Structure 1
Amino acid sequence: MILHRYINRQVFMTTVMVTFILVMVLVSGRFIKYLAEAAAGEIAADVLFLVMAFRLPEFLQMIVPLSLYIALLLALGRMHMDNEMVVLRAGGQGDGRVVRSLVVPLLMCTTLIAAFTLYVTPRGDAEVNRIFEEQKDRSVLELLTPGRFQVKGSGDSQRATYAEHLNREKGVLENVFVADASFHQDKGEADRLLTVWAKSGKIITEDGISYLLLKDGFQYQGKPGTNDYKEVGFKDAKVRIGGDKSDSRPPKVRGRSTRELISERHSNNEALAELEWRLSLILTVPIMGIAAIPLARVNPRQGRFYRLIPAVLGYMLYVGMLLVCRSWISDSKPGAVPWYLNMAWIHLVAMLAVSMLYFGPALWRRRAR
């Protein structure tokens, strides 16, 4: 029991530290990406932290297995460096005892990843999809930052909007500017330009369609200096800024529940690929956890980090093969997935490689005799 607690404490502390560092790196990068989208007016700034909270389980289900794997390599590698493993073997405690000591952390991590992949993460992804679908239905002016131009559109049509000030108590935009431009595909020049300026504006909804109700303004149409240039003053005008409000779209395959994936796996290859990917994430924990024990064996002269980089590269190769197989299954013809496009054989190869790490040296020495 003392040995179990000693090893588990070392592994737990290292796993927490590695997980914290990797989560901070990944979350920071993703948050910067969402922050840039919010600055561009694609999503509202007030949903950033909500989106990150729903995406956190997805980050953890990828990071925690790697963190546990690295923690095992570091903790057991230190024990080899300090000759603690030599003392354990001299006392009759070999790799079998170490494996039994790691049963509890491996089971806890496997259970945690199973809960994330099969239940928590799909619900979080479904909520993220719902939030982004709501953001798509919001107009540029609803996401407008006062005092800053916002440009939205692609191809041959773009819209620029600007509001000098936003009265949040009344929900009124002041000094509103809206410009719609259509560009000639060959010349890249604007062949139609419609500009509207108004003293104030307010967003209203009629029949599920969003409009901007403008008051006391002018509308300019055409190119300045040409004969067809028009200037029209108005007291009230409505500008359509949103499409028809549709019902919530069904979530993407990552946001579907595991039960739905099981029922659709025979007719939908994307559902089959997602289901196998979720199960594969669970299997990587015990397979790579057991593989870390022989990989952590180092000579004191080599240093505790001697095998760390090759071991991490092996982990990345394992997960990379699963990701490639996932893409192959998704892109294959519906209802006809070849036998070799299956993640099970990747796990079998991984388990065979782990077996060779344990029994390969003994077989090699026996053959050399």
Structure 2
Amino acid sequence: MITLIDRYLLRDVLKALFAILLVLALILLANSFIKLLKEVASGDLNSNLLFQLLGLQMVVYIPRLIPPAFFFAVLYVIGRMYRDSEVVALAACGIGDLRLYRSLIFVVTPIALLTGWLSLYVQPWASRLSAELISMQRGQATELAGISAGRFNEYSRGDLVLYVESIASEKKRMRNVFVQQRRAGVLSLVTARQGYQYVDEESAERYLVLEDGVRYEGSPGEADYRISEFERYGLRIKGAEGVVAKVNRKSLSNEALLSSKSIRDRAEFQVRFAQVLGLLVFALLSLPLSRSMPRQGPFGRLVLAFILYTLYLSLQGVAENWMIDGTTAEWLGIWWVHLMLALIGLSLLIPDSHHYRRMQRKLLRGGA
């Protein structure tokens, strides 16, 4: 049964969690947006995919952000309760650390289940969909899918260069078009007042149809140099063939990772599951690390917690590399990092246990 204390901790921790998670997400969102915007400006990415890829990247980041956000949220809430002497009042009523851990269980259980679902299932799906969108966009690059107005757009490794002064958004008609194309060593230049893309329904071939323009073919000064005017000119665009979405291990399903013979794939599964274990371990560490005196500031504990979490990330990377290199056994994997932190958390609880205090009092009496 959820009591008043449980609801109190649940409400405050969730409020702090959402606030910290929002700040971290906005920082990563801004960083990702700048990177994707650079790719759009350079023509490597279609502007239509900008916000789709941005949303998918945030889905990938969220499972990684929840454990540290939860850790610092609990540190903030419990630390405030210590500084406001609320924990002292609870202790006077017979509510100790173990009772506070029970309240934390009501908070961490749904968050751990959510983190596990996001890390094990949603994150691979988002990575796979993001890779497919990028691959599709690159595969359609020769089909003029990522054309940008006001700049030279290069396709087919420089064999096709297209410049469009402006694009009418309502009908996607291009104004003042310049095309340079090289086929079989023959260079041709085409200028047209307007143009548009057309797909033949029968052959499914894609064409760039230009209207009211002039075509120059050959090298100036040679006998075969030709200049021709046209009302309508169709330029067939070569489609990309054999473009396959690049599949990396971050986008593989859990079943594929576990059944794989590659040690790197199995290590990737452990990294995914480590998000849940890290959340549980830092829930254990959060209570002893949040203890502070009524007049003591919160920054000393926060700095220690930040150093501990940084150490955890470093050890997790080292453990993954050791597992891949064969330095540690595969069954040990990266689990030893979480076991070590859990033992540290339990050791921090020993000085506040009743048995330890009773033994300490006996020793003091015996020494006296």
Q: Shorter-chain TM-score: what band?
A: 0.7 to 0.9
In the alignment, is the contact (CA less than 8 A) between 1:178 and 1:197 conserved in 2?
yes
Matched, 1:143 2:146: yes
Matches within 5 A, 1:195-344: 195-204=189-198, 210-214=206-210, 216-219=213-216, 232-233=227-228, 235=230, 236=233, 238=235, 240=237, 242-244=239-241, 246=242, 248-249=244-245, 251-264=247-260, 267-326=261-320, 329=323, 332=325, 338-339=328-329, 342-344=333-335
Match of 1:100 in 2: 102
Match of 1:176 in 2: 177
TM-fit CA distance, 1:351: 1.5
CA contact (8 A) 1:151 1:158 kept: no
Residue equivalent to 1:349: 340
Residues 109 and 239 of structure 1: is their aligned pair in 2 closer, same or farther, counting only changes over 3 Å? same
CA distance in 2, matches of 1:213, 1:203: 6
Distance, in Å, in 1 between the alignment partners of 2:318 and 2:199 is 46
Amino acid at match of 1:359: I
CA distance in 2, matches of 1:82, 1:229: 91
Quote the residue 1:49 is aligned against: 51
- In structure 2, how many angstroms separate the alpha carbons of the residues matched to 1:136 and 1:317? 39
Change (3 A) 1:77 1:139: same
TM-fit CA distance, 1:145: 2.7
1:180 offset after TM fit, Å? 6.9
User: Which blocks of at least 5 consecutive residues in structure 1 are unaligned?
Assistant: 182-191
**1:12 matched to 2:3:** no
Q: 1:99, 1:230 → 2: CA distance? A: 85
For residues 72-91 of structure 1, the aligned pairs below 5 Å read 72-91=74-93
Q: Summarize deviations over 1:87-137 as a string: whole Å, max 9, x none.
A: 222332221111111111110110110110111222222211111111111
Instruction: Indicate the residue corresponding to 1:359 in structure 2.
Output: 350
Please give the root-mean-square deviation of Cα atoms over the aligned residues, in Å: 3.6
1:199 Cα deviation after fit = 3.7
The answer for the alignment partner of 2:131 in structure 1 is 129
1:306 Cα offset (Å):
2.1
Partner SS state of residue 161, structure 1:
strand
Point out the structure with max Rg over C-alpha: 2
Q: Distance in 2 between matches of 1:130 and 1:28?
A: 23
Deviations 1:157-177, CA, capped at 9 Å, x for gaps: 586531123345655433222
How many residue pairs match? The answer is 349
1:296 Cα offset (Å): 0.3
Stretch of structure 1 that moved more, 201-210 or 315-324 = 201-210
Match of 1:218, SS state, is strand
The alignment-based identity, stated in percent, is: 25
Which whole-Å deviations, capped at 9, do the CAs of 1:241-298 have from their partners, x for residues lacking one?
Answer: 5422x4653632222221222222xx12332122011110110111001101000011
- Report the Cα distance in structure 2 between the residues aligned to 1:73 and 1:314, rounded to whole angstroms: 13
CA distance in structure 2 between the partners assigned to 1:100 and 1:166 by the alignment: 62
User: Which amino acid is the alignment partner of residue 256 of structure 2?
Assistant: E
Question: Does the aligned pair in 2 maintain the 1:167–1:173 contact within 8 Å?
Answer: yes
Q: Given the two structures, how large is their TM-score scaled by the length of structure 1?
A: 0.80
Distance 1:32 1:89, change over 3 A: same
More displaced 10-residue stretch of structure 1: 76-85 or 303-312: 303-312
CA distance in 2, matches of 1:269, 1:294: 37
- Give unmatched runs, 5+ long, in structure 2: none
Equivalent position of 1:188 in the other structure: none
Q: 1:228 to 1:6 in 2, by over 3 A?
A: farther
Residues 322 and 193 of structure 1: is their aligned pair in 2 closer, same or farther, counting only changes over 3 Å? farther
Give the aligned residue type for 1:66: P
